[in-house]
Chain A
Amino acid sequence: MNSFEFFAPTSVDEALDLIVSKGEDAKIVAGGTGLVNMMKQRLVNPEALISLGAVRGLDGLEISDGKVRIGALCNHQALVKSAEVGQMLPLLAETYSKVATVRIRNFATVGGGLVHGDPNQDPQVSLLALNADVSLRSKSGTRTLPLKDFMVDYYETAIRPDELLIDALVPVLPNNAGYAYLKFLPRTADDYATVSAAAVTVLEDGVLKDVRVAFGSAAPTARRCQETERMLTGQRPTPEALRAAAEKAKDLADPVSDGRGSAAYKKEMVGVFVRRALEKALERAGGAVNGR
């Protein structure tokens, strides 16, 4: 690791001052599970590290107006274990429980994960399907961005150098919604996914009133599958309709070949796992796929 200055501000304001004064040679660190690893491998060589470990009041979980506000410094395991999240947003608890291991989840933060911007991460996929927003604060104010606009490219997000991600806002699902997050792990249980998929479905009188689908690990960012959603909205979820709509998601896949599978294989698996996620969500919504 290259030598660097280390700062531990105790408030958001102090952190924002440091981010501005240290400029782009500085990196912000929370749990460090992503960044310290990258620094050890010299993939990132900051001149200064601004640790948020001593900043108070950013790790809360707050539920109001039908939304869960997750503080940027809330760690993954706290989310997994939160009774409120388990009850109001079980898809989120299920998704975060699939990230790495307890040891990593204890320190990896929700905000840190989002700004890390690795397309192989789990949370982004479900957060996309949940219509999550993120709040970004700078000295000049706070702006809120839909997660889909926040994610830009491999390890790249729309955050500006003078901004800090403050929280994620996730609308609670209606009680009758079905949901699923599937993580395809052909190697080990703590690996990144070969392909992952999330689905949210709301059925009314046997017809899909609301359907949201996203996949991960198969493009520069997690991707929301709007064409798939359009094909299914207002339709009965027959096996044929699900298959055709899931196939459509493959058009958005742009994976790279690696140890977890070839690009061609991952693209095929996007179709498979999007379909399975839809099926599982529908099963949970109490409406097994028609025709079975």
Chain B
Amino acid sequence: MIKKRIALTVNGQRHEVEVPTTRTLIDCIRYDLGLTGSVEGCGVGVCGACTMLLNGKMISSCIYLAVMADGAEINTIEGLAKDGQLDPVQQAFIDYGGFQCGICTSGQIMAARALIDENPRPTVDQVKDWMMGNLCRCTGYYKILESILKAAEAEAAA
């Protein structure tokens, strides 16, 4: 098995790991770095459960190789809360019932975070369009939509 040494900065912390070239980014984050908040759902880039940010852009980490991310900055759900304070998106998902079983939640929250970073006051249609690739099989979409809009509102007011 061919391996390669790579460096990743994950949630601000630099890691050096040796990975098989076949390692996907999601597997590297979960099994090599032990950050299991991101999960693999479909494994083909469709469902959004493995959404994280790579150099600030949201990515399907299940169809990206860890070796391709060498040198990149990555943000996962574990890095959102700061000093024991939840991110406004996380807080809104709790306050407005943005999740049910929780499988899709870290991906939903990271996608919502990426949206609000880029567009601080998205319209309902903009949220729907952006979040189209994050599936919730409990089908709690109205609550997710509400949570994201409320999070944007709270951040704008802060």
Contacts and interface: CB of A to CB of B under 8 A. Distances in A.
B24 to A, nearest CB: 8
A56 interface: no
Nearest to A100: B133
Interface in A1-40: 1-6, 8, 29, 32-33, 36-37, 40
A106 B21 contact: no
A204 interface: no
A257 interface: no
Given A36-B64, A103-B51, A106-B59, A4 B21 contact: yes
A184 interface: no
Interface stretch (B7-15, B42-50, B79-87): B42-50
A271 B59 CA distance: 37
Nearest to A35: B63
Interface string A90-103: 00000000001111
A61 interface: no
A77 B1 CA distance: 35
B70 interface: yes
B58 A102 contact: yes
Interface residues of A, number: 26
Contact of A40 (B20, B46, B57, B63): B63
A238 interface: no
A104 interface: yes
Given A4-B21, A33-B60, A36-B65, A104 B4 contact: no
B2 A37 contact: no
Contacts of A44: none
Contact residue range for chain B? Answer: 20 to 34
B44 A40 contact: yes
Contacts of B44: 37, 40
Contacts of A100: 45, 133
Contacts of A102: 58, 111, 114, 130, 133
Interface string A173-192: 00000000000000001100
Contacts of B65: 6, 29, 32, 36, 49
Contacts of B114: 102
B59 A51 contact: no
A106 B57 contact: yes
B62 to A, nearest CB: 8
A101 B133 contact: yes
Nearest to A1: B22
A6 B133 contact: no
A131 B137 CA distance: 42
A53 B68 contact: yes
A115 B46 CA distance: 21
Contacts of A3: 1-2, 20-22
B132 A189 contact: yes
A190 B48 CA distance: 12
Interface in B28-87: 43-46, 48, 51, 57-60, 63-65, 67-68, 70
B133 A104 contact: yes
A6 B60 CA distance: 20
Contacts of B68: 29, 32, 51, 53
A4 B2 CA distance: 6
Interface of B: 1-2, 4, 20-22, 24, 43-46, 48, 51, 57-60, 63-65, 67-68, 70, 111, 114, 130, 132-133
9 contacts: A2-B22, A5-B2, A6-B2, A37-B63, A53-B68, A100-B45, A102-B133, A107-B57, A190-B46
CB-CB nearest 3 A-B residue pairs: A101-B133, A1-B22, A6-B21
